[in-house]
Amino acid sequence: MKIDAAKVIVTSPGRNFVTLKIMTDQGVYGIGDATLNGRELSVVSYLEDHVLPCLIGKDPRRIEDIWQYLYRGAYWRRGPVTMRAIAAVDMALWDIKAKMADMPLYQLLGGRSRDGVMVYGHANGADIEETVEAVGQYIDMGYKAIRAQTGVPGIKDAYGVGRGKLFYEPADAALPSLTGWDTRKALNHVPKLFDKLRATYGFDHHLLHDGHHRYTPMEAANLGKMLEPYQLFWLEDCTPAENQEAFRLVRQHTTTPLAVGEIFNTIWDCKDLIQNQLIDYIRCTIVGAGGITHMRRIADLAALYQIRTGSHGATDLSPVTMGCALHFDTWVPNFGIQEYMRHTEETDAVFPHDYIFRDGLLHCGETPGHGVDIDEQLAARYPYKPAYLPVARLEDGTMWNW
Ligand code: GCO
Ligand code: MG
């Protein structure tokens, strides 16, 4: 069996997606996601110019060997572009293998560990009142877990405030738009949101919050402490993780569970945080961290320390990644939670899929493969549109972490 053709499809049904399709001489094909929000075309080039020529003629059943070939063989290891390209190939090859086995992907991974996948949705609002209302809507829809973000008085476009009720799409302009940040104001305001949420809805639902890399370690520790009475499921990306020792400082001061990993690319980014038990949830995802093959290694390492998974699932991860993630989540023993930001109807139409939301859980389907396809004709109707993530500056103009 041989890979006889492969192509990269760029489409923008409301937002940009980069998709890899690998074809074989036996007529079976596989689909992978290679989307890197705001830097999409770099992965297109990496795949088209440097990966696809090496794939033609290879046996698609040798998933592990192809992974190692692309990782070790590049010499230049790791990084978001390389690892997304590898992830896309890996997803497509697992799709092919599962189709050939005539099984849904989770069966090949080891079978079902749970009935469905607990997801969290994004509730946000311009102020506390709006966010409280948005959380109520998710509760009414059956969600068991909800991430809550709110606008902060005095901060221009604080992180996490979307434009629609169910959708939050930060990559919103042809050049990066300017947002503001002020830690003092946020620290004054965020605990009030959770106070109000618990007073309104009680403690039956899981609540989450994303710090989006904005706080210094000591500020993050302070926030974690202030949030303790509200029993969060997790506080996410409370401080940047380049210096992983930063999490030790946060950890020493708070029992609020910590989650990190959406911008990590390999197990090496996770290793020290996991082995030193500085986090509770590892949030890498299939597209960001080298595909299913590599995510299994990360999850297994985390399991040794009772750390659970919490896959990133923002709208910039295409339905292809969501499909793969749900098969992974259905199998992985140390599953924690899956982020679920709904895609628009246009996106869902371009990527026909068999996963469904029911009673607060997402369920992967039983179609052989990962269960997500691409409608190429429809995709062609939505050409690429440059779209950047925002940048953030402090009040005095200093650049900050968006
Ligand atoms: C999340 C994330 C996203 C990112 C986005 C960037 O937790 O969902 O922080 O909203 O900002 O994926 O492309
Ligand atoms: Mg996040």
Task: Tell me the best of 262, 342, 388 to mutate to test the pocket of ligand 1, counting ligand atoms within 8 Å of each CB and taking the most.
Answer: 262
Distances (CA, A) of 251 to 231, 258, 309, 355: 15, 8, 18, 36
- Is the shortest distance between the CB of 182 and ligand 1 below 6 Å? no
Task: With beta carbons less than 8 A apart as the criterion, state whether 32 and 12 touch.
Answer: no
Q: Which atom of ligand 1 is nearest to the CA of 314?
A: 8
The superfamily (CATH) of domain 108-400 is Enolase-like C-terminal domain (3.20.20.120)
Buried b (16+ CB within 10 A) or exposed e, 53-92: eebeebebeebeebbebbbeebeeebebbbbbbbbbbbbb
Annotated active-site residue in 122, 189, 212, 312: 212
Tell me the residues surrounding ligand 2 (ion) with CB < 5 Å.
Answer: 210
CA 334 to chain centre: 17
> What's at 319, amino acid-wise?
P
Q: How far apart are CA 211 and CA 240, in angstroms?
A: 10
Q: Average pLDDT, whole number, for the chain?
A: 97
347, 352, 356, 361: CA torsion to nearest 10? -60
Q: Which atom of ligand 1 is nearest to the CA of 313?
A: 8
Q: How confident is the model at residue 47 (pLDDT cuts 50, 70, 90)?
A: very high
- Is the shortest distance between the CB of 316 and ligand 1 below 6 Å? yes
Q: Which of 361, 320, 333 is nearest to 110 (CA)?
A: 333
Q: What's the pLDDT score for residue 33? A: 98
- Is the shortest distance between the CB of 170 and ligand 1 below 6 Å? yes
pLDDT at 163 over 80: no
Q: Give the end-to-end CA distance of the chain in Å, rounded to a whole number.
A: 46
pTM: 0.97
Quick check: helix, strand or coil at residue 78?
coil
- pLDDT per residue as tens digits for the range 173-203: 999 999 999 999 999 999 999 999 999 999 9
Q: What's the pLDDT score for residue 157? A: 87
| Domain parsing of the chain, residue ranges | 3-104, 108-400
145 CA to centre of ligand 2 in angstroms: 15
The dihedral region occupied by 384, where left means phi > 0, alpha psi between -120 and 50, and beta the remainder, is beta
87 CA to centre of ligand 1 in angstroms: 18
Q: How confident is the model at residue 37 (pLDDT cuts 50, 70, 90)?
A: very high
| Burial of 172 per CB tally in 10 Å (0-12, 13-18, 19+) | middle
Q: Which of 273, 197, 260 is nearest to 231 (CA)?
A: 197
Q: What's the pLDDT score for residue 165? A: 64
Rounded to an integer, the average pLDDT of 125-147 is: 97
Assess whether 388 carries a catalytic annotation. no
Tokens at 5, concatenated: 């053709």
Task: With beta carbons less than 8 A apart as the criterion, state whether 182 and 393 touch.
Answer: no
Annotated active-site residue in 138, 159, 168, 340: 159
- pLDDT per residue as tens digits for the range 97-120: 999 999 999 999 999 999 999 999
> What's at 184, amino acid-wise?
R
Q: What's the pLDDT score for residue 11? A: 98
Q: What is the DSSP string of 316-337?
A: TS-HHHHHHHHHHHHH-TTB--
pLDDT at 164 over 70: no
Q: How far apart are CA 118 and CA 269, in angstroms?
A: 25
Q: Which residue minimizes the CA distance to atom 12 of ligand 1? A: 314
Q: How confident is the model at residue 166 (pLDDT cuts 50, 70, 90)?
A: low
- ∠ CA 248-251-254, rounded to 5°: 155
Task: With beta carbons less than 8 A apart as the criterion, state whether 314 and 291 touch.
Answer: no
- ∠ CA 32-35-37, rounded to 5°: 165
Task: With beta carbons less than 8 A apart as the criterion, state whether 149 and 122 touch.
Answer: yes
Assess whether 363 carries a catalytic annotation. no
The superfamily (CATH) of domain 3-104 is Enolase-like, N-terminal domain (3.30.390.10)
Q: Which residue minimizes the CA distance to atom 9 of ligand 1? A: 212
- pLDDT per residue as tens digits for the range 266-291: 999 999 999 999 999 999 999 999 99
Beta bridge partners of 353: 372
Q: How far apart are CA 175 and CA 168, in angstroms?
A: 18
Q: What's the pLDDT score for residue 111? A: 98
Q: What is the DSSP string of 361-385?
A: EEE---SSBSSB---HHHHTTS---
